[in-house]
Structure 1
Amino acid sequence: MSRRSEESRSRVALITGATGGIGKATALGLARTGMQLAIVGRDRERTDAIARTVREAGAADVQAFVADLSSQAEVRRLADEVLQRLPRLDVLVNNVGGFWQTRHLTADGLERTFAVNHLAPFLLTNLLLDRLKQSAPSRVVTVSSNAHRTGRVDFDDLQGERNYSGSRAYDQSKLANVLFAFELARRLRGTLVTSNALHPGVVRTAFGAEDPAAVQRFIVPVLKPFMKTPAQGAATSIHLATAPDLEQVTGGFFSNSRRVRPSRRGEDRADAERLWRVSAELVGMDAPAVEGERR
């Protein structure tokens, strides 16, 4: 066995939203490197089935976790289980996400798009941060979208209580992903934990199928032949999780496995700091002073 294969087999990656689409393709791609994998899905039967598929693809080991990440209690339970079962964590891929055309509330009384797409990865990452530091050099990979370029974080109406739009809520959540990834990178400066965000491309998946908008019902089927496959969409996540030359690269936004500039709002440090404080409050978490943060 080569040294690189031995190193891959000793590394552990956790992927959320791994039972379909880009998440499943990311798990399969990382499995082929020989990494040990932990996958997260909402449904036990489906998650176990994907775990078997990933194991057959070559993963050194696969562990399945079941959690509904729209619930903060479930996110906390998931983090506890991960800490109990995984003695090390080298890569966290925050892949879970969704689109809902109409406004839905979670068990915590929060708007579902913001809760699933932003608050879930925010809380989970923070709960697993000590394990990532212990396993360093390690990486946090957050799947955003070029939709962040038309997004705006409306701090006066984060939950869309006054004026909800499915596309506006989604764009805001994807901008929040970028701001979170960059602020996390800043707070982890001086550690060996990196944080980057990415655009996977426009991918052929069942994304938004629970509550689709008109564009998904009528236009997407026409465009499907021109969209990326899930494997193509997962390529940048896999690149960020494994590329040796990215071991010390942090605070970047990537598309097609290359670093690109995010939107101007995506680089707004004041908004990133404010979003971190607001998010910490919404999940009932203190915003601890960590390496790289001014006191």
Structure 2
Amino acid sequence: MTDTVAVVTGASAGIGAATALELGRRGLHVVLVGRDEERLLAASRAVDEVAPTPSRPVRADFTRLDDVEELSRVLHGDYPGIDVLVSNAGVHTTRWELTGDGHEITNQVNHLAPFLLTGLVWDLLSARPGGRVVQTGSLLAEGLDPEDLNRTRSRRAGWGAYKASKQANALVAVHLAGLTGPAGPVPTCCHPGMVRTTFASGSLPYRTFRRAFPFLFQPVETAALALADLATGEDGVNHPGALFNGTKRVRSLKRWRDPTLARRLWEATERALGNDRLGPAHPRVGT
């Protein structure tokens, strides 16, 4: 599998770094994407110790959509095709704020930026047979309003914004599977479980819960195995649009698979990003 290219976002630490390491161990050439350059280089060096080919670290901050476009240009310049996109970058914040692009930060990092990147490199994913997109999702997913992705009506972030962004991830996988059909790259969504990372460290209730019940939180390596299995195993191509809880496929609730809601979200996301950013490779509604 040394010619197999996997791009992992949010790979400078946590689940992303552990997934990149596992994919390197399985023989893939790994492109690690993250915003913290020092940690990203450290994660890349760790992959190089176990992988057959040197990894490629690429710095990109998903709070800047220009960085996403630049990442796409780098990937197009260096790779004729991508086999796997592990869309793992994510954020949880307790403060409602807008990025420089004018989007609520949780919405942009967890939904808009991954959506944009997937569309920009869709031609690279389509260039390889068996291409796939694996998104890090959550069973907490709920509360999405496609007409208010930035939550301007409430101006509240926290768990509400996070859950809505994770619902968006699940619905994107569902709609993308319907757009591309069996011949196109296969999207799936994976809830990795509660993991021992610094995720949501700004949330006092979550920190308190984690201290009180540490046995409920699994090692980051366990979560990485679930993502890596979808990136390389049969489940990752046999169940387009499916949601997995770890390595087990779950029966999705309506809010995670509603095709009408998924289409509304897709159209609202296209409007939010604009045609100039989406580019010609982006799979569009009706194509």
Q: Which TM-score band applies after superposition, normalised by the shorter structure?
A: over 0.9
User: Residue 135 of structure 2 aligns with which residue?
Assistant: 142
In the alignment, the residues of structure 1 paired with residue 267 and residue 192 of structure 2 have an alpha-carbon distance, to the nearest angstrom, of: 28
- Which residue of the other structure, out of 126, 138, 146, is the alignment partner of 1:155? 146
- Which residue of the other structure, out of 214, 227, 239, is the alignment partner of 2:229? 239
Q: Encode CA deviations 1:242-274: one digit per residue, 9 max, x unaligned.
A: 114543431111112121112211111111011
User: Residue 40 of structure 1 aligns with which residue?
Assistant: 33
> In structure 2, what residue type is equivalent to 1:153?
L
* Post-superposition offset of 1:288: 7.4
In the alignment, the residues of structure 2 paired with residue 69 and residue 290 of structure 1 have an alpha-carbon distance, to the nearest angstrom, of: 18
Residues 138, 166 of structure 2: 8 Å contact kept:
yes
User: Residue 23 of structure 1 aligns with which residue?
Assistant: 16
Matched, 1:72 2:62: no
User: Residue 279 of structure 1 aligns with which residue?
Assistant: 269
- Which residue of the other structure, out of 68, 85, 102, is the alignment partner of 2:78? 85
Identical aligned residues as a percent: 36
- Which residue of the other structure, out of 115, 120, 126, is the alignment partner of 2:113? 120
In the alignment, the residues of structure 2 paired with residue 95 and residue 206 of structure 1 have an alpha-carbon distance, to the nearest angstrom, of: 15
In the alignment, the residues of structure 2 paired with residue 258 and residue 238 of structure 1 have an alpha-carbon distance, to the nearest angstrom, of: 13
In the alignment, the residues of structure 1 paired with residue 247 and residue 267 of structure 2 have an alpha-carbon distance, to the nearest angstrom, of: 31
User: Residue 228 of structure 1 aligns with which residue?
Assistant: 218
User: Residue 198 of structure 2 aligns with which residue?
Assistant: 206
Moved more, 116-125 or 227-236: 227-236
In the alignment, the residues of structure 2 paired with residue 70 and residue 263 of structure 1 have an alpha-carbon distance, to the nearest angstrom, of: 30
Q: Encode CA deviations 1:88-135: one digit per residue, 9 max, x unaligned.
A: 210000000110011121111110001000111100000000011011
> In structure 1, what residue type is equivalent to 2:39?
R
In the alignment, the residues of structure 2 paired with residue 208 and residue 130 of structure 1 have an alpha-carbon distance, to the nearest angstrom, of: 34
Say if 1:116 and 1:293 are closer, same or farther in 2 by CA, change over 3 A. closer
Secondary structure at the aligned position of 2:33 is classed as: strand
Residues 177, 186 of structure 2: 8 Å contact kept:
yes
Name stretches of at least 5 consecutive residues in structure 1 with no aligned partner: 1-7
Say if 1:247 and 1:160 are closer, same or farther in 2 by CA, change over 3 A. closer
In the alignment, the residues of structure 1 paired with residue 261 and residue 64 of structure 2 have an alpha-carbon distance, to the nearest angstrom, of: 25
In the alignment, the residues of structure 1 paired with residue 106 and residue 284 of structure 2 have an alpha-carbon distance, to the nearest angstrom, of: 30
Say if 1:114 and 1:59 are closer, same or farther in 2 by CA, change over 3 A. farther
Residues 190, 292 of structure 1: 8 Å contact kept:
no
In the alignment, the residues of structure 1 paired with residue 32 and residue 61 of structure 2 have an alpha-carbon distance, to the nearest angstrom, of: 13
> In structure 1, what residue type is equivalent to 2:149?
L
User: Residue 4 of structure 1 aligns with which residue?
Assistant: none
Residues 93, 157 of structure 2: 8 Å contact kept:
no
* Post-superposition offset of 1:205: 0.4
In the alignment, the residues of structure 1 paired with residue 84 and residue 97 of structure 2 have an alpha-carbon distance, to the nearest angstrom, of: 31
* Post-superposition offset of 1:48: 1.3
Q: Encode CA deviations 1:67-106: one digit per residue, 9 max, x unaligned.
A: 1011111111111111111222100000001100111211
User: Residue 171 of structure 1 aligns with which residue?
Assistant: 163
Moved more, 212-221 or 75-84: 212-221
In the alignment, the residues of structure 1 paired with residue 48 and residue 173 of structure 2 have an alpha-carbon distance, to the nearest angstrom, of: 30
Secondary structure at the aligned position of 1:124 is classed as: helix
TM-score of the superposed pair, with normalisation by structure 2: 0.93
Say if 1:105 and 1:49 are closer, same or farther in 2 by CA, change over 3 A. same
Secondary structure at the aligned position of 2:241 is classed as: coil
User: Residue 184 of structure 1 aligns with which residue?
Assistant: 176
CA RMSD after TM alignment: 2.0
Secondary structure at the aligned position of 1:247 is classed as: helix
